[in-house]
Amino acid sequence: MAETIISLRGIKKHFSTKKGTVEALKGIDLDIKKGEIFGIIGLSGAGKSTLVRCINLLERPEEGQVVVNGTDLMKLSNEGLRQNRRSIGMIFQQFHLLMQRTALENVCFPLEIAKVPQAEARKRAEELLALVGLSDRLESYPSQLSGGQKQRVAIARALATSPQVLLCDEATSALDPNTTKEVLNLLKDINRNLGITVVIITHEMRVIQEICNRVAVLDGGVIAEVDTVEKVFRAPKSKMGRQLVFHESDENREALQGPIENSYRITFEGDMTNSPILGNMMLECQAAANILAANTRMIEGKVYGQMIIQLPEDAAKREQMLQYLKNMGLTVEEVAYV
Amino acid sequence: MFELVLQGFWESLYMTLISTVAAYLIGLPLGLILVATDADGVSPCKPVHTSLGIFINILRSIPFLLLMITVRPITKFTMGTTIGSPATIVPLVIAAAPFIARLVESSLKEVDRGVVEAAQSMGATPREIMLKVLFPEAKPSLLVGSAIAVTTILGYSASAGIVGGGGLGAIAINYGYYRNQTEYMLPMVAILVLMVQVFQEMGMRAVRIVDKRQ
């Protein structure tokens, strides 16, 4: 695929709090390719926000290398870093617009900083606000805009200096589902039409599912796994990945009373979700299977399903059933918990 | 009496306004420095922040009347005299500037940290963040602060009457207190009360016009 645009190596960052030192990032290696939409998902406290802030050095890691667009940001002077930040746009959960400036003036702000002549800046800001669909709200103040509109202004502002990368820190977490979808579609368009690499931090799986090409699962300051969204959704390799993909929350596990035996996760895709495989298996093998959990989801237009079933204790029957499933082309793996 | 009151009113008014302007010329930059050099500021510098903070606290802890007496040599040197309204401006500025620095500091600190972060992510310099983000975003709060400052300075100026200051306070003290002429005391107090009301109301109206958050 395309060349790497963001390369993180051995990123470590800790914070000192009253309760002691918190290691937010414990050595992160990550490569993000040019033109992709890359998701970073994790629970709150996993270090996602810190990680994305390390990409433009809003947080400076104690150790490690941050290379964006071929430049090692850690080695830059303050002025050099400021220049470089203009090619890395960023949007935030709470939008962070200037409340005393109109939408137009907000988009002009980064251009003022980049010393773009006023008339030119205004023209560009108008174009960008048209791009995000807010041509009719140029003179509105943020307080007069809805959440989705504010985030659109923030996106226009982040794009003002024609960045190569757009960092999104929980950009849709403060928005309702419909608005989230609109903003995600806008990000998708921007990625496709302007070729901007988008990095999305989120705790919502549906955001990843909706627009990302690849995803990194962050767990306790380390990357649990990185892969295409399709692969992570089909067969998450890490515990956190499974928890996020299959909603294996702690409560669910407790409800099923801890470890389970003779249980298997079967994952299937596409047309298979339409055929009664499990029913056929039970008829064929003359034994019952207990369905512990099941769900299906749509990723990039394809249907994926997963199911956790408990098979009989009789080893021969179990083997026969597993063989049947494998013959049907399903992925089967033994699981110790739901 | 009417002429006396009018004179007192003008003296109090110009003492207060000139002192406020002069005190802001000093206090505003001091407030900016306090915020900028704070640990989470745009250019943290602990020695500057701490020493400036202590300096401001010392000035603020001296009661105004004592400060006025203490700084008499400075007053004499700059104004040529230590009595009358123009001379009162000097201690008023010295007393009000650190107070204003703290008001400005608290206004600037109200600005959402995230907005500053956003500006940093765009490559803004500390100076640009101070002048283009913190200052304009804090404008409504700064105006509220200025209404507090001007009314406080008016109060200081009135109490300056007891040690040779001019204005309404001096008239109230000299006639109303020393000569026990209540008919002088009450109008002065009434005018002072009215002035505070007017300044405060003007400040709040200005805030409503300026603030774009509602």
- Look up the pTM and report it: 0.83
pLDDT in tens, A95-146: 999 999 999 999 999 999 999 999 999 999 999 999 999 999 999 999 999 9
Q: How confident is the model over A15-36, as a mean pLDDT?
A: 91
Q: How many C-beta atoms lie closer than 10 Å to residue B63's C-beta?
A: 10
Phi-psi region of A215 (alpha: psi -120 to 50; beta: other; left: phi over 0): beta
pLDDT in tens, A53-95: 999 999 999 999 999 999 999 999 999 999 999 999 999 999 9
Q: Within an 8 Å CB–CB cutoff, is residue B112 touching chain A?
A: yes
- B19 or A260: which carries more pLDDT confidence? B19
Q: What is the pLDDT of residue B136?
A: 95
Q: What is the pLDDT of residue A288?
A: 85
A99 and B212 within 8 Å at the Cβ level: the answer is yes
> Which of helix, strand or coil describes residue B44?
coil
A100 and B211 within 8 Å at the Cβ level: the answer is yes
Q: How confident is the model over A259-288, as a mean pLDDT?
A: 78
Question: What rounded mean pLDDT belongs to chain A?
Answer: 88
Determine contact, residues A41/A217, Cβ cutoff 8 Å.
yes
B120 and A58 within 8 Å at the Cβ level: the answer is yes
Q: Does residue A250 have a pLDDT over 70?
A: no
Q: Within an 8 Å CB–CB cutoff, is residue B132 touching chain A?
A: yes
Q: What is the pLDDT of residue B182?
A: 85
Q: How confident is the model over A247-261, as a mean pLDDT?
A: 55
Chain B residues within an 8 Å CB radius of A82: 123-125
> Which of helix, strand or coil describes residue A45?
coil
B121 and A114 within 8 Å at the Cβ level: the answer is no
Range with the largest mean pLDDT of A104-113, A259-268, A329-338, B81-90: A104-113
Determine contact, residues A67/A30, Cβ cutoff 8 Å.
no
Q: Does residue B167 have a pLDDT over 90?
A: no
Q: How confident is the model over A202-231, as a mean pLDDT?
A: 92
Q: Does residue A154 have a pLDDT over 80?
A: yes
Q: What is the pLDDT of residue A142?
A: 96
Q: How confident is the model over A272-286, as a mean pLDDT?
A: 79
Q: Does residue A45 have a pLDDT over 90?
A: no
**A301 falls in which pLDDT band (50, 70, 90)?**
low
Q: What is the pLDDT of residue B81?
A: 86
Chain A residues within an 8 Å CB radius of B107: none
Supply B12's token pair.
């109090």
Work out the angle between the directed axes of helices B72-79 and B85-109 (0-180°, nearest 10).
Answer: 110
Determine contact, residues A148/A182, Cβ cutoff 8 Å.
yes
**A241 falls in which pLDDT band (50, 70, 90)?**
confident
Q: What is the pLDDT of residue A290?
A: 86
CATH number for the domain running over B2-210: 1.10.3720.10
Rounded to whole angstroms, the Cα distance separating B188 from B103 reads: 28
Task: Label residue A59 exposed, middle or buried (CB < 10 Å: 0-12, 13-18, 19+).
Answer: middle
**B112 falls in which pLDDT band (50, 70, 90)?**
very high
Q: Which residues pair with A307 in a beta bridge?
A: A266, A294
Q: Does residue A257 have a pLDDT over 60?
A: no
Q: What is the pLDDT of residue A249?
A: 46
pLDDT in tens, B185-212: 888 889 999 999 999 999 999 999 999 9
Q: What is the pLDDT of residue B154?
A: 93
Rounded to whole angstroms, the Cα distance separating A191 from B158 reads: 65
Residue A214 to chain B, least CA–CA distance (Å): 24
B115 and A97 within 8 Å at the Cβ level: the answer is yes
Rounded to whole angstroms, the Cα distance separating B174 from A260 reads: 93
E strands of A37-180, at which residues?
37-41, 63-68, 71-72, 88-92, 165-169
Between CA A199 and CA A207, with CA A202 as vertex, the angle to 5 degrees is 85
Determine contact, residues A27/A11, Cβ cutoff 8 Å.
yes
Question: What rounded mean pLDDT belongs to chain B?
Answer: 92
Which of A194-198, A217-221, A293-297 shows the lowest per-residue confidence on average (mean pLDDT)?
Answer: A293-297
Q: What is the pLDDT of residue A254?
A: 47
Q: Does residue A161 have a pLDDT over 70?
A: yes
Residue A218 to chain B, least CA–CA distance (Å): 23
Rounded to whole angstroms, the Cα distance separating A325 from A235 reads: 16
